[in-house]
Each structure stands twice: as C-alpha cells, then as structure tokens.
Amino acid sequence: MPPPGVKARIDRFWRAIKRINQLYSLGLQNFVKNEDALDAGERNLQVAVEALIDVGEALIAKMDWRTPKSYKDIGLILKEKNVLNNEQTKFFVDAVKLRNILIHNYIYLPPEKIYENLGKFKKILTLIMDNLIGYMEKMGVDP
C-alpha cells in the first residue's frame, strides 16, 4: 500500500482545524479544566502545523524550487515565490516554532497558553492552507 499523499494530509489538516474550532468554543475556563480537551488541543495544533509543513514542502518539491534547509525555510521559500505574503510568512514561522515547542518542550506550555494558541492560529492556518491549495490549483499541481 502506498503511503498517504498530500491529499490525505490536507484532509487531516481540515479535521484538525475542525477539532481546534470545537475545542476553542469550550471557552477558557472549561478548556483548562478538561484534560482530554487539553490533550486534544495540543495534538490537533501539532497535526495542523505538521500538515501545513508537509503540504508546503510538497508544493516546493513539485515546483522544483530550492530545497528548504529547515521547516522555517519552507515558509520563506513560499514567500519568495509569492505564495504567502509577509504576514502569512510570519505566522507560518510562528506556527513552526509552536510545533517545536509542542513536540520538544511541551511541559512549558500551560493550559491557558494552549488555549490562546488555538485562538491565535485557527484562522491563519486555514488561510495559509487555502493559499497553498489555491496556488496548486492555479498552477495545475495535483496534490
């Protein structure tokens, strides 16, 4: 069986965003008291960012642009090629930093900060993914 491709990652991204929206709608007080919500919030933020990284990297490879040296570099290349604007690039880089914290330094993120990041990133991650998909469609790149 072949490994899941870009389309599967895009689908998983949308599922993560749906969960992020549901979790954010709990409100801060209910979120921080619910360990399952906290765990789901951390995981779905991580998955959404990972999917964004994977789709961005796949687009870069399919377009035969320069090879990124880091996850942050993916956002910078997408900006160079006018896929992302300055603000979106800043949020992409911030999302990569958040992903690194979620994976490596998770003990330093209190529940309130997780909730804050759910709200901060839910719309911008969606906008960035929409841009990636729109660019792929415009350029005839099949995910």
| Least confident residue range of 9-13, 28-32, 78-82, 108-112 | 108-112
Contact 48, 17 (CB under 8 A): yes
- Give the C-alpha separation, 50 to 40, whole Å: 15
Which residues touch 34 (CB under 8 Å, ≥6 apart)?
A: 26
Please, what is the average pLDDT of the chain? 95
**78 CB burial (10 A radius; 0-12, 13-18, 19+):** buried
Supply the pTM of this predicted model.
0.93
| Least confident residue range of 24-33, 35-44, 72-81, 107-116 | 107-116
CATH number of 6-139, picked from 3.90.1200.10, 3.60.20.10, 1.20.120.580, 1.20.1440.80: 1.20.120.580
Which pLDDT score is estimated for 67? Answer: 98
